[in-house]
Each structure stands twice: as C-alpha cells, then as structure tokens.
C-alpha cells in the first residue's frame, strides 16, 4: 500500500515522522461532527446540482455513467467573484524563511474553530494512476462549495474497486495520506487575499479564503509531487506525448511551460494522424529516475475554455465549468458562453475521453525535454547539447504570466519572468530539481530544446511552426545552424524566421536576456539557504562573454 491513514497504537506519537502539529490539526478536523463524507461521484453531483450558485445547463455530460455520474447528468457551471485565478502570494510553506509553524498552526486552529458550526463535506481520491505511483488524498470543504468537491472528484481519480486494488498492490511509501482542508469563507485578518498553509514534509495543506478550484487542484499536486520527489521521481508540471514506431525507437517528448504557454496544444496535437501517438497528460506527471518511464497524476484535464466556442468539438467533453457565461440557444437550452467573454481564465474539468489516445503510464523512456519560453530574443527552436546548460535553461525558464494567476499589487503581466522548470508549486529546494533534471540529461542522454511560442522580435510564432518543428525532430529532417556562434546552442533553420546574428543590437538583446537569467540565479543564491551549483552561473557567464567577443 502506498500511503497510510491508520497506524498501530505503538506508531502514533512524536517519534513517528508522519505526524506534525499542522497535520494533526488538519486531520482532526476531518473527524468532527460537522463533517459529512461524500462517498462517490454520483452523490457529489446531487449535492453540486442543488448548490445555491450552480447553473445546471442543458448540455449532457459525455459517457456520464462511465464517469460514475447519473445517466442524465448535465454540465454544471459555478462562478466565483473578482478573483478567477490562483493567488501565489497566499502560499506559506513550512520550512521556508519567515514562516513560523506555531504561528501558522494558531491561525489554522482559529479558522477551524470558527467553522465548527458550519457544515462541511469531505471525500477521498487517488493521485497517480499506476502501481508504481499512486497516493491517497482527502479533501474537506465548506458545504456551499459542493461544486468544488465534485470537480475535485472528477479531476483526480475517485476511489473505485479497480483503483483500490491498484492502491492495495502498489509500491509502499513511508508517507501519510494527503489531507487538504479548505474553507473559502474564512479570511484571516492578516491575510485578506487568502492564506494557503503547506506542511509539505507531512503531506498536508489548508486553503483559507480562496474559492477558486485551481487552489485545491494545485495544492494536492504540490504535495503529490513532493512525495514523488522524495521517492525516486522527477516532478513535472508539463505535458508528455509519445510517438510510437515499429521500425525505430519511440520518441517520448515532455513539454514544460506555464498555463497559456502552449504546452497543452502541443501535447494533444494529432499531427494530422501521421503518427501513432499516445498522450500521458498535459499538466501533471512524474518521471521514474531509474528507468525513464512516466506516470500521469490525473485522469482528467483542467483546461482553459477560451479557445473553445460552443460550435467547436471540445465542449462535448466538459463536465464542470468555472467562471464562464451562460445563455440560451435557439432551442431554448442553457448553453455556455466561453472565449473568456465574462472574465479571463474560464476553466473546465474535461474528461479523459477528450483524448482518444490517452495512457496513464508511458513505459517507453523519455528521450527529449522541451522548455517552452516566451522570450522575444529566441527564434522558434533552439537545440541545447550540454547537460549543464540544458538544466540551467530549465532552472531559468523565461516566460510571461498568464490569466490563470491572480496577481496582487502593481505587477506587469507582460514582463519577462523566471519560473524554474515552469513549476511555481515546488515545496522543496530548487537545487534538487536542478540535479534531478541534469541527471536525466546526463545519465539518460536526453535531448533538450528551447521552444519560443511567443514572439520572435515583433513576429508571432504560430503554433503551426512549432508543430512542424516537432515533426521534423521526430522524422530526423531538421537542419541546424550555430546560434550566434555560442557553444552548445544550435538554431533550427526556418525560412520565415531568419536570425541576423551579426546585428549588434540583436546580440546585445540576447546578452541582456542571459544576464536576466544570471541575475535570477545570483538573487536566489543570496535569498535562500539552498544554493544552485556555481556551474549554472558559470555557463551563462561564458555565453555572455562569447557574445561580446564574436
């Protein structure tokens, strides 16, 4: 059995590393009289359909009974208020500077005490979809948010006999189950924008004052990734697809980027059905460091609705929908208004049936990683052939913020930012991710590519160019040239995106962007107890010097 939620009496106490002050505070709340257990998806649907803010559309859920839903289940809409994205500034992670466990425990006790006269609902799911990696998670949330609980059950794996058997025969880890306590109605007076308390070493979190469903999804993944990281896996916020061949080695590509970077588009692309393709997932998976295989963490997809008008095919696979409009069609049916007309970051839980070529485990070892950037100094595709530089570009992945994030204060959403490995949900030292990814490049001989899905200069890189580049890499028909004479960097030659390497202004721009990455590392070294290896700074400095000399 993978994770634990019951123990012999002799194992209960301070001496057991599974327990902690925060974990005990949260888990205890799950057993209170104000908690009602929701055993399955069908029960959760009945609660959600009667929720005060629910809009029951007239759109049927595809293959409802296969998903554990009633045969006549309809897509449900629930909208939040001003905030329609994640609030990263609300996260307080035990073990980081300035976060005091006693202080956070006191705030959490007060929140739970204030809610003792409120009715809560709770449920259980599995995270990870294979014997190699599957852990159990529990959610408790205020009962007026039954739509969030239903979405949670649909996003992760509900506990069925098939998956209970898988869990019972899975790899055992010396870890406690994940516990998430959520009260969207409680606002700590010192944290008016919300408070998310994480105790990652003990697999527990509390989400206070934030009704956005993405907070529940990402907090659960945060803790699951942390467990995976401790037990021989590389945690991945990205998408993975495989191209299968009868006459040569399979090509398994992982694409890392923030929401809105194009990773889902690239992951799910069918490439005109020219290849035998399987998709693992477009957002959350783990890579086995020993054999290179990969396991998906979720059966469903938490997808943006912006690109899916009602006349398109994708809404067929929607189940629950958040922060979208509703109107009547010409038959008087309540249908969706998508395309982010009502607000930014409209979202849906989309069923696994949206991918006809879906797998939950990719046995074939990964052989290429793509860092998706939005840096206008970069041409569409660059190949990196040095493990240190490849891992360093991952650690300094440059992109732009998306509408999935609730930004507090005077923050420029269009400014270039660094988000290491496209994973803002890491709760362990960055240097450990660096070493994990470097080991993949070095020991498993992975290829590395930088993809710019934004603008190169003032010219937008269309998705057709990026998809065509992936196909050329799969087919082995790429033509590369040295990128500005820099060591270990080659540019994919594309007629529509020529690079003027001799232009001093362009070379200065590339040097400036490398300096932004160097400054990020320098700032990290001076503000964290953790340290990235000096080789990360050295390799970037060397490239800057080459730009000045050549």
Range 382-408 average pLDDT = 82
From residue 503, alpha-carbon distances to 303, 381, 548 in Å are 41, 19, 12
pLDDT in tens, 166-175: 999 999 999 9
Residue 409 has pLDDT above 70, yes or no: no
Query: Taking Cα atoms as reference points, which of 59, 45, 63 lies closest to residue 353?
Result: 63
Instruction: Label residue 549 by pLDDT band (50, 70, 90).
Output: confident
pLDDT in tens, 289-338: 999 999 999 999 999 999 999 999 999 999 999 999 999 999 999 999 99
- Residue 222 and residue 137 in contact, taking contact as beta carbons nearer than 8 Å: no
The torsion of the CA quartet 467, 470, 475, 480, rounded to 10 degrees, works out to 110
Q: How confident is the model at residue 411, as a pLDDT?
A: 47
What distance lies between CA 380 and its chain's CA centroid?
23
Residue 406 has pLDDT above 90, yes or no: no
Q: How confident is the model at residue 260, as a pLDDT?
A: 80
**Quick one: tokens of 27?**
């888990």
Q: For residue 231, how many other CB atoms are within 10 A of its CB?
A: 17
- Residue 268 and residue 280 in contact, taking contact as beta carbons nearer than 8 Å: no
From residue 341, alpha-carbon distances to 17, 118, 306, 324, 337 in Å are 49, 35, 8, 8, 7
Separation of alpha carbons 222 and 228, rounded Å = 10
Q: For residue 192, how many other CB atoms are within 10 A of its CB?
A: 11
Instruction: Label residue 413 by pLDDT band (50, 70, 90).
Output: very low
Instruction: Label residue 455 by pLDDT band (50, 70, 90).
Output: very high
pLDDT in tens, 457-476: 999 999 999 999 999 999 99
Separation of alpha carbons 241 and 267, rounded Å = 6
Query: Taking Cα atoms as reference points, which of 312, 451, 336, 250 lies closest to residue 76?
Result: 336
pLDDT in tens, 338-385: 999 999 999 999 999 999 899 999 999 999 999 999 999 999 999 999
Mean pLDDT, the chain, rounded, equals 95
Residue 402 has pLDDT above 60, yes or no: no
Vertex 308 angle, CA 88 and 221, to 5°? 30
Residue 415 has pLDDT above 80, yes or no: no
The secondary structure of 380-443, three-state, reads CEEEECCHHHHHHHHHCCEECCCCCECCCCCCCCCCCEECHHHCCCCCCCHHHHHHHHHHHHHH
Kind of pairing, strands 35-37 and 120-130? parallel
Residues 6+ apart with CB under 8 A from 464: none
Strands (E) across 119-183 are located at 120-130, 133-142, 157-158, 178-183
Residue 405 has pLDDT above 80, yes or no: no
Range 53-77 average pLDDT = 98
Q: How confident is the model at residue 550, as a pLDDT?
A: 64
Which percentage of the chain shows pLDDT scores above 90?
Answer: 93
From residue 335, alpha-carbon distances to 55, 213, 316 in Å are 10, 21, 12
Residue 414 has pLDDT above 70, yes or no: no
Residue 212 has pLDDT above 80, yes or no: yes
- Residue 492 and residue 380 in contact, taking contact as beta carbons nearer than 8 Å: yes
């Amino acid at each position: 059995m993978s994770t634990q939620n019951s123990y012999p009496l002799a194992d209960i106490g301070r001496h057991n590393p599974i327990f902690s002050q925060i974990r005990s505070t949260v888990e205890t709340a799950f057993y209170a009289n104000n908690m009602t257990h929701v055993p399955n998806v069908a029960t959760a649907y009945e609660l959600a359909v009667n929720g005060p803010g629910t809009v029951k559309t007239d759109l049927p859920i595809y293959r409802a009974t296969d998903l554990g839903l009633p045969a006549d289940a309809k897509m449900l809409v629930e909208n939040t208020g001003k905030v329609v994205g994640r609030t990263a500034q609300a996260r307080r992670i035990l073990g980081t500077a300035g976060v005091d466990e006693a202080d956070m425990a006191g705030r959490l006790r007060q929140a739970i005490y204030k809610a003792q006269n409120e009715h809560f609902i709770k449920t259980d799911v599995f995270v990870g979809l294979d014997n190699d990696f599957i852990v159990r998670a529990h959610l408790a949330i205020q009962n007026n948010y039954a739509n969030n609980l239903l979405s949670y059950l649909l996003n992760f794996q509900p506990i069925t006999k098939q998956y209970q058997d898988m869990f019972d025969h899975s790899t055992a880890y010396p870890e406690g189950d994940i516990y998430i306590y959520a009260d969207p109605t409680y606002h700590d007076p010192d944290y008016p924008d919300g408070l998310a308390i994480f105790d990652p070493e003990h697999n527990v979190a509390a989400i206070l004052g934030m009704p956005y469903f993405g907070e529940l999804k990402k907090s659960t993944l945060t803790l699951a990734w942390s467990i995976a990281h401790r037990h021989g896996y590389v945690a991945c916020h990205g998408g993975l697809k495989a191209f299968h061949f009868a006459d040569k080695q399979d090509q398994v590509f992982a694409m890392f980027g923030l929401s809105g970077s194009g990773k889902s588009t690239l992951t799910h692309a069918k490439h005109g059905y020219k290849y035998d393709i399987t998709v693992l997932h477009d957002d959350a998976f783990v890579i086995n460091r020993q054999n290179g295989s990969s396991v998906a963490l979720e059966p469903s997809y938490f997808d943006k609705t912006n690109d899916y008008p009602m006349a398109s095919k994708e809404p067929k696979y929607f189940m629950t929908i958040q922060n979208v409009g509703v109107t009547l069609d010409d038959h008087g049916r309540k249908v969706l208004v998508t395309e982010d007309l009502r607000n930014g970051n409209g979202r849906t839980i989309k069923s696994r049936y949206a991918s006809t070529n879906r797998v939950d485990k990719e046995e074939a070892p990964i052989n290429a990683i793509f860092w998706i950037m939005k840096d206008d100094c970069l041409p569409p595709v660059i190949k990196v052939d040095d493990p240190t530089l490849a891992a360093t570009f991952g650690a300094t992945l440059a992109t732009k913020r998306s509408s999935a994030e609730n930004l507090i204060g005077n923050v420029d959403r269009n400014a270039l930012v660094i988000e290491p490995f496209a994973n803002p949900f890491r709760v362990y030292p960055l240097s450990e991710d660096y070493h994990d990814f470097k080991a993949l490049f070095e020991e498993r001989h992975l290829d590395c590519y930088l993809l710019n899905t934004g603008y190169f200069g003032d010219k937008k890189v269309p998705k057709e160019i990026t998809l065509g580049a992936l196909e050329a890499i799969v087919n082995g028909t790429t033509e590369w040239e040295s990128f500005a004479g820099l060591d270990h960097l080659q540019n994919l030659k594309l007629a529509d995106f020529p690079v003027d390497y001799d232009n001093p202004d362009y070379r200065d721009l590339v040097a400036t962007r490398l300096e932004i990455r160097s400054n990020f590392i320098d700032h990290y070294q001076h503000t964290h107890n953790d340290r990235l290896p000096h080789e990360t700074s050295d390799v970037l400095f060397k490239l800057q010097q080459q730009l000045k000399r050549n």
